[in-house]
Structure 1
Amino acid sequence: MPDAGRGCAGQGAGPGAMGWRIRRLGATPLWAGAGAGQWRQSGRLERHVGAGGLMRLTEALLQHARTLRFEDLSAEAIAATKVFVMDSAAVGLSGSGPQVPLTQTVRRSAASYGSGNAARVWVTGEALPAASAAMVNGYQIHSQEFDCVHMPAVVHPLAVIQSALIAAAEQRANVDGVPVDGKALITALNVAVDVATLIGISGRVAMRFFRPSMCGALGAAAGIAHLHGADEELLRRTLGLTYSHLSGTMQAHVEGSPTLALQVALNSRAALSCWELARNGFPAPREMLEGPFGYLPLIEGEFDVGPSLQKLAAREAQILTVSHKVFPTGGAAHAAQDMLMELRQQHGLKLDNVASIELQAPPLVRRLVGRSYQPAMETSYARLCLPFLLGTVLLDGKVGLSAYAPDKLADAQLAAFANQVSLVPNDCDDPNALVPQSMTITLRDGSTTALTTPRVPSMPATVLP
């Protein structure tokens, strides 16, 4: 989840409303119109490319996606790509199992859309059209909240990207007769991750739309186009069509609905469907990011592309800032789980000797995982229910995939303890920050213990055992 590595100080600064966008933070509105060539970045007026000044994010990403080569990637970026591809494949294989029964529903539905032999569903091996295979595999990757995450962007990059690009590579070999080698796939994956995350980090307000699915699809579209050697015009058309097909809101997250993972799956399918339309010549909106109703002003609302442009200029591979998920839960719950695990080990805490837990946290944490325990809750809801997760840590020592077994979800002890967990505001009001967080535990004998953390355990520097 977002900005975990930077803490609260400075997070989300500089709303950077651009073009015709009216800033909601009190600055003088700027109207530039569709072709006036003016935009606002971090509060200062600039001229976009074509008017004698700074390049816009749209053109910068198009250039990057078109020109990146395997030889441009560092050894560290190549190694990280391989690690996270294997990580995503592993959670995708796990997502095909009986612990995720809705995978069968997604698989049956995808098969009903039509037959084909372009790509295969992971584990079952059934052949499907590429877009349908990507849909199933994307669902399998994200269905357990265990796939890797780019914290600053609030994007699970490889859920959409890997499922779509693997299917695209299979289609290129099986249908087009052009095999894709490992170097080409690694390069395309890096293009996709860069595009998805650099769009994602530009947002400056709390999410209303589900960024992992939307930014993931835009990244996947760029990666697919790169894989096929698309020129800039075809690449722009692919992105424009994909933008027109984006879907996914935070309503599924609020409700803890399994539709959250389906939003990833649908956008995996969308990226491949739109690529086919683009390469067959269908026209598309050109200003998909920074136009009056482009992604940034419409979906994000408040944004600042300055940091993304700087990272592109410095050729920073964003795969190096992707993190493993250390727990199969919402990322906003990770810091609290980690603190409680440490306190449990230090003080011998157990479910029956803890009277209450108070977590002081930024607004994003309270919004995403500060939900009440519900009887007969879905597994997808439980993964985002911090009171349940903290009770599980006290009971079992950690939260693993076994935490969502039916008997655990119905555990009377966990249900009773959930009422003793409270989340309250701290001094951080950044809408995109996950840290700092502080935890205060009151024991049944009246004593207390506390811990504060400035970091989230799911960070790029964290190496899983």
Structure 2
Amino acid sequence: MSVTTTLAGFAADLDTGGIPAEVTARALALSTDLTGSILRAAHEADSTPAVLAMLARLGMDGEGPCTVFGLNRRYGAAAAALLNGTLGHSLDFDDTHADSSLHPSAPVVPAALAAAELTGASGTDFLAAVVVGFEVCCRLGMALDPTAHYARGFHPTATAGTFGAAAAAGRLLGLDEKAMASAFGVAASQASGSLQFLVNGAWNKRYQVGEAAMKGLMAATLAASGFVGAEDAIDGKHGFLRGYSDRADPARAVAGLGSTWETLRIGVKPYPACRYTHAAVDGLLALRGDLSLAPDEVQAITVGLHRNGITLVGAPLDEKRRARSVVEGQFSMPFAAAVALLRGRFGWDDYDLLGKPEAEALAARVDVVRDESLEGLRHPFGATLTLRARNAEHRLAIPDPSGEPDTFPDADAIAAKFRTLAGPVLNAGADTLLSRLRDLPQASSLRGWFG
């Protein structure tokens, strides 16, 4: 049986009752976490007005049945998936799956939510679809080999995410195995996402993830309407894995399928920046506290990263030291280090340091190097630190950033992050929405569930 058929059968036929309770609970926690990012980005992300203007100009902003958090109105399903996906990824505060080096919730949850509201699916069915979408996109990301996929210039959240979105939406639309394989056939023609945004801090990264949510929903809806998609679209001669990677391993996509849950290996971000900066930020915050360091006492910092981290947040170093836009800051190890040392934290509101002399002076003291000791490990997100202050050197190795499965935040921490993001937008309404999200498993239908 091909990888395409195996994943299609899993997505279509997985027994909802057979999903472990902890897996379903994790899907709910991750959906809640994403919702906070959507809400804040709807009001504060610099790219949001342009996306809304585009939808209006193209006549895609009409009233529909589907929720877009933070916009106080409903949209058609395709526009809602696009908006929630784009907004959810705009702060770069959404979750990550280390083994695939992608953000699962931003493409999957919006596609599932739109399909659930279209069909009147229950909260339990919605969460099962989210789990299916997570499993498909994370496994495809692993099968691509993230390092090889990055080397080809692709953004795995947008590419593999399209399949995850199609799987989640397709399940809610009632696709059987054959139709789900057709949806994957369409998704293979739509999967796209370029790393070229790194050159000038462009907004492509946000939009292409929203597109993945929308295109996955469209692929599933085409298949539900009888459209015939390409066979063996994932592992065929001209399929997704061969076309998007030089070192694809199709077996990784199906190993332990239905017994090993990649959903439980998704981590939540404590900082609104590329995950490859997080371990170093954790380490710098710890050193700052332990040594009672003042920023002007720091003479030099060397951050060691995996080669993927160098690609995204460490090179070209001179440009990374002079981050001026939010996207440039989100992908700058020197800027993240400067924020951590200056503020003793790193939250969304700390992007007010962009272009500030004190931040750039500290960023200029940050060197970023490839650390061979971080290669070949299961997770690529670790970091090593050498910090020189008061004419003494301090070294630290951080194998994994906080928020990974071993340190996954509890319900109170998820709620606290949600309130931090949603509170400035909804005020007292943040707790009302949080309650609706917590009660989602009890919803008999998601139509109208969010007001």
User: Common fold, TM-score beyond 0.5?
Assistant: yes
The offset of 1:397, in angstroms, is 0.2
- CA deviation digits over 1:34-74, x for unaligned, max 9? xxxxxxxxxxxxxxx3xxxxxx3222211211211211111
Q: Specify the code of the residue in structure 2 equivalent to 1:60.
A: T
Does 1:237 find its partner at 2:182? yes
Distance 2:11 2:38 in 1: 26
1:191 paired to 2:132: yes
1:337-416, aligned counterparts within 5 Å?
337-371=281-315, 372-373=319-320, 375=322, 377-405=324-352, 408-416=353-361
Verify the 8 A CA contact 2:163 2:216 in the aligned structure 1: yes
Shift, 1:433, TM fit: 5.2
**Any unmatched runs of 5+ in structure 2?**
414-451
Comparing 423-432 with 293-302, greater Cα deviation is found at 423-432
Secondary structure of 1:296's aligned partner:
helix
Unpaired runs of 5+ residues, structure 1, are 1-48, 50-55, 173-178
Following TM superposition, by how much is the alpha carbon of 1:427 offset from its aligned partner in structure 2, in angstroms?
2.5
Confirm whether residue 101 of structure 1 aligns to residue 46 of structure 2.
yes
Q: How does 1:155-304 map to 2 (within 5 A)?
A: 155-172=102-119, 179-204=120-145, 205-206=147-148, 207=150, 208-304=153-249
Alpha carbons 1:150, 1:197 under 8 Å: kept = yes
Amino acid at match of 1:414: A
Q: Partner residue of 1:40?
A: none
Letter in 2 for 1:150: H
Query: Does structure 2 conserve the Cα–Cα contact (< 8 Å) formed by 1:333 and 1:386?
Result: yes
Q: Compute the RMSD of aligned alpha carbons.
A: 1.9
Contact 2:4 2:184 in 1 (8 A): no
Instruction: Tell me the CA shift for residue 331 of structure 1.
Output: 0.2
Relative to 1, partners in 2 of residues 1:437 and 1:376: Cα closer, same or farther, differing over 3 Å? closer
Does the CA-based 8 Å contact 2:333-2:368 persist in structure 1? no
Q: Determine if contact 1:334/1:458 at 8 Å carries over to the other structure.
A: no
CA contact (8 A) 1:138 1:159 kept: yes
TM-score normalised by the chain length of structure 1: 0.82
Q: CA deviation at 1:373?
A: 3.8
Greater CA radius of gyration, 1 or 2?
1
Residues 322 and 459, structure 1, Cα contact 8 Å, conserved in 2:
yes
1:396-450 Cα offsets, whole Å, 9 max, x none, are: 0011111112xx112101112212111123223449852553211112x422111
Q: Deviations over 1:355-374 (max 9, x none)?
A: 11012222122221114346
Q: Quick check: which one's helix share is greater?
A: 2
Contact in 2 for aligned 1:238/1:278 (Cα 8 Å): yes
Figure out how many residues of one structure are paired with residues of the other and give that number. 400
Q: Which range moved further: 230-239 or 253-262? A: 253-262
**Distance of 1:460 and 1:185 partners within structure 2:** 23
SS of residue paired to 2:301 = strand
Match for 1:64: what amino acid?
F
Give the corresponding residue for 1:25. none
